Amino acid sequence: MSDLPLSGIKILDLTRVLAGPLSAQMLADLGAEVIKIERPGTGDDARAFGPPYLVDPEGKENNNNSFYLCANRGKKSVTINIAKPEGQAIIRDLAKTADVMMENYKVGDLKRYGLDYEAIKAINPGIIYCSVTGFGQTGPYAPRAGYDAILQAMGGLMSVTGHIDGEPGEGPMKVGPSIVDYMTGMNTSIGILTALYNRDAKGGEGQHVDVCLFDTVIASLSHWLQIYLVNGKTPPRRGTWGNGGMPAGVFRCTDGELMLVVGNDGQFSRTCAVLGAAELATDPRFLRNNDRVVHGKEIMAIFAGLFLKNSVKHWLDELEKAGVPSGPINNFEQVFADPHVQARGMRIKVNHPFEPELSLIRNPLTFSGTPVTDYRAPPLLGADTKQVLSSTLGYDDAKLDGLKKQGII
């Protein structure tokens, strides 16, 4: 089997919580050696974002919770106290050996420790130094801390998410998962890989990559935000209704709900036939998609009545035969029971010290020539401190013991 795409790349990861760690995890999946720096004793802030936690074999409390487990597989955990000069010196020594350094401290924090981009660049000119923050390295909000939900609100995502105005529960709504963190993690990976390509394949130099949640959420609004840029009007909240092909949304059946998206006029005609109302396809109000957008409330109400006449399975089977995109509204148990999800191998097993077959979610990228097949469990706090410092920096046992007694590692 070929080496993984990022074999030979070393990443020094000072990120915590979710966006940065998700990016570093993806890069670790793809073959990079990721050295995760954590605080002695407490570790990454995410370790306190529980429960649930894995069960310690000895019944002790621990810091291996779901939040941490989802974003840190394949890494090496090294505990270093960067608030102390000795710890800062260790980070600088590790940075000399790294291709990439990642951090998500508030703007200016690491400069106090001599760990900012300019300081690291001085000792490793080729370093790709990536900063992941709430608001970026410039602008009036740069010094602020930022979490996913705050950026969903400030970036406009919540303003267009939620029940339709006039319906019960109307008002801005947060997307369930930390979707801005996840998208920022992807952008971080893209930024790092682009900078590495520029340096290694095009003869470029190291550089500072600035990625933030605020920029990410605004860019992610895509065609919704473009509507505002075209006509100056913020699109209304649409609940589960679509913002392209119509009709689109959740429809209640006799035994549950399904999601339907009618993407073009041909699909609309076939859907009408499935529902036993072929005449709707020639109704002047609904001939073209733009007509159905204008008369959205009317067609959605008509479809709502028709779907109530049979079961979810009946409609999904018939819509699939007709080539109309639709699907069930699955809970997580149903997601992992889905035969397609199983065929795609989205649930993987890793050997964790607390659980020999710990379930995780696989990397969503699939390669024909360099497949990711070997996943390593998220590390216990400080599990690799001795190995990394001895093999990379040449520290002997006496030095390691001294640093531990001083609270440096």
CATH code: domain of residue 319: 3.30.1540.10
CA distance 204 to 184: 25
pLDDT confidence of 2, banded at 50, 70, 90? Answer: low
The pLDDT value recorded for residue 117 is 98
Examine the domain organization and report whether 209 and 255 are in the same domain.
no
pLDDT in tens, 68-88: 999 999 999 999 999 999 999
Examine the domain organization and report whether 215 and 258 are in the same domain.
no
Q: Is residue 187 assigned to a domain?
A: yes
CB 277 within 8 A of CB 233: no
Q: Is the pLDDT of residue 244 over 90?
A: no
The residue written with tokens 């260790």 in the block is: 90
CA distance 245 to 248: 7
Read off the DSSP letter of residue 55.
P
Examine the domain organization and report whether 115 and 204 are in the same domain.
yes
Q: Is residue 259 assigned to a domain?
A: yes
Examine the domain organization and report whether 277 and 379 are in the same domain.
no
CB 81 within 8 A of CB 87: yes
Q: Is residue 363 assigned to a domain?
A: no
DSSP string, 333-356: HHHHH-HHHHHHT-EEEEEETTEE
Domain hosting residue 299, numbered range: 248-335
pLDDT in tens, 348-385: 999 999 999 999 999 999 999 999 999 999 999 999 99
93 burial type by CB count under 10 A (0-12 exposed, 13-18 middle, 19+ buried)? middle
What are the helix and strand counts (H, E) for the chain? 16, 11
Question: What backbone torsions phi and psi does residue 90 show, to the nearest 5 degrees?
Answer: -65, -40
Examine the domain organization and report whether 33 and 182 are in the same domain.
yes
Read off the DSSP letter of residue 382.
T
SS3 assignment, position 271: helix
DSSP string, 114-156: T-SHHHHHHH-TT-EEEEEESS-SSSTTTTS---HHHHHHHTT
- The total number of structural domains in the chain stands at 2
Examine the domain organization and report whether 173 and 59 are in the same domain.
yes
Q: Is residue 355 assigned to a domain?
A: no
End-to-end CA distance of the chain: 37
Given the DSSP bridges, would you call strands 355-361 and 347-352 parallel, antiparallel or unpaired?
antiparallel
Q: Is the pLDDT of residue 291 over 60?
A: yes
181 in catalytic set: yes
Examine the domain organization and report whether 196 and 54 are in the same domain.
yes
User: How far from chain centre, in Å, is Cα 331?
Assistant: 19
pTM attached to this predicted model: 0.94
Examine the domain organization and report whether 289 and 176 are in the same domain.
no
Task: Characterize 139-157 residue by residue with b for buried, 16 or more Cβ atoms within 10 angstroms of its Cβ, and e for exposed.
Answer: eeebeeebebebbbebbbb
The pLDDT value recorded for residue 1 is 41
Q: Is residue 4 assigned to a domain?
A: no
Examine the domain organization and report whether 21 and 137 are in the same domain.
yes
Q: Is residue 237 assigned to a domain?
A: no
Q: Is residue 368 assigned to a domain?
A: no
The pLDDT value recorded for residue 391 is 97
The pLDDT value recorded for residue 243 is 78
pLDDT in tens, 125-139: 999 999 999 999 999
Q: Is the pLDDT of residue 61 over 70?
A: yes
Q: Of the residues 44, 181, 210, 215, which is catalytic?
A: 181
Which percentage of the chain shows pLDDT scores above 90? 97
CB 273 within 8 A of CB 321: no
The per-residue pLDDT of the chain, averaged, comes to: 96
Q: Is residue 242 assigned to a domain?
A: no
Examine the domain organization and report whether 101 and 35 are in the same domain.
yes
* Final residue before a domain boundary, out of 335, 363, 394: 335
Question: What backbone torsions phi and psi does residue 73 show, to the nearest 5 degrees?
Answer: -70, 155
